[in-house]
Chains A and B, each alone.
Chain A
Amino acid sequence: MTTTEMQNLTVQVYQVFIKATPEQIWDAITKPEFTERYFHGVRSDFDLRPGGHYRQTMGDTDQLATQGEVLDADPPRRLSHTWTSLYDPEMAVEEPSRVTWEIEARDDGTALLTVTHDQLERAPKTAESVAGGWSYILSGLKTVLETGEPLAG
């Protein structure tokens, strides 16, 4: 996919139903032992206060994959943080974008998880990169929570 084929990626919205409680989904988003099983192997680390740090390291290394700042944390319903991709030098110099996770319990034992990645106007390379990744990550998150197994491969 080239940038000319995919335009206007400045707001991206992803949704998935997961058979889990909002608390379980919250833990899967915020705890490194969960994220490394579905999020390209990275470990997420949050200081869940406004202004607190957010960072993702690659596996057991200290190498940063992404980082940002927590804007808003309302467990287990809403988490918003800034995002800078550090896994590519051209993306690392782009302006921070914003990721918001919203969890909404349903009465059938499932919850709807919505991820909005926006404020990508000054991060076109990041926008293109994450557009291919979020559905893969959310599909993996669903699999981890519903089966306890990470996706094969």
Chain B
Amino acid sequence: MVTYSGRMSKDEDRVFKALADPTRRFLLDLLFQGDGRTLTELESELEMTRFGVMKHLRVLEDAGLVVTRRQGREKLHFLNPVPIRLIHDRWIDKYTERQVSALADLKTKLEETG
């Protein structure tokens, strides 16, 4: 059985892995520019086989970065930015905060000695 904390880090692994590929980052940028696109529309922007694009989209979907919706006979792909927000809140905020406080400390030190 997968515990929740195990599941959470697994979810994060999937997001980082999905983002660690230039084609997949390009696909996310395409959806950012124009959301709700079909496979055919996305494929036309890439020098890659349809199967290759499908594989990348599947990785993005498994990571929760892309959500698909059926609309009539078409399957539309939507960018879901929430996992990136969660990574931001969990990782980026934490470390940039320290940097800012380190700079604040440095400023205090410099002003004390100066």
Q: How far, in angstroms, from A15 to B68 measured CA to CA in the complex?
A: 11
Question: A12 an interface residue at 8 Å Cβ cutoff?
Answer: yes
A13 and B7 within 8 A (CB) = no
Of B19-27, B47-55, B74-82, B104-112, the stretch lying at the interface with chain A is: B74-82
B81 and A135 within 8 A (CB) = yes
Question: A55 an interface residue at 8 Å Cβ cutoff?
Answer: no
Given contacts A108-B2, A109-B4, contact A143 B89 (CB under 8 A): yes
Of A2-10, A22-30, A66-74, the stretch lying at the interface with chain B is: A2-10
Question: B35 an interface residue at 8 Å Cβ cutoff?
Answer: yes
Residue of B with least CB distance to A109? B4
Return A40 CB to nearest CB of chain B, in Å.
14
Contact pattern, A 88-114, Cβ under 8 Å of B = 1, otherwise 0: 000000000000000000001110001
A136 and B85 within 8 A (CB) = yes
A108 and B89 within 8 A (CB) = no
Question: B69 an interface residue at 8 Å Cβ cutoff?
Answer: yes
User: Chain B interface: which size bin?
Assistant: 20 to 34
- Which of A8, A9, A110, A139 is close to B86, meaning CB atoms less than 8 Å apart? A139
B69 and A13 within 8 A (CB) = yes
Question: A16 an interface residue at 8 Å Cβ cutoff?
Answer: yes
Contacts of B76 in A (CB 8 A): 11
Return A147 CB to nearest CB of chain B, in Å.
11
Q: How far, in angstroms, from A63 to B67 measured CA to CA in the complex?
A: 35
Question: B114 an interface residue at 8 Å Cβ cutoff?
Answer: no
A135 and B67 within 8 A (CB) = no
Contacts of B69 in A (CB 8 A): 11, 13
Return B75 CB to nearest CB of chain A, in Å.
13
Question: B9 an interface residue at 8 Å Cβ cutoff?
Answer: no
Return A111 CB to nearest CB of chain B, in Å.
12
Q: How far, in angstroms, from A15 to B86 measured CA to CA in the complex?
A: 11
Contacts of A8 in B (CB 8 A): 34-36
Q: How far, in angstroms, from A135 to B82 measured CA to CA in the complex?
A: 5
Residue of A with least CB distance to B71? A11
- Residues of chain A at the chain B interface (Cβ within 8 Å): 5-17, 19, 108-110, 114, 134-136, 138-139, 142-143, 151
- Listed from nearest, the 10 A-B pairs whose CB atoms lie closest are A135-B85, A13-B78, A135-B81, A139-B85, A135-B82, A8-B34, A16-B82, A13-B67, A15-B80, A138-B82
A-B contact pairs, 14 of them (CB 8 A): A6-B32, A9-B35, A11-B35, A11-B76, A12-B35, A13-B78, A14-B80, A14-B81, A16-B83, A19-B4, A110-B7, A135-B84, A138-B85, A139-B89
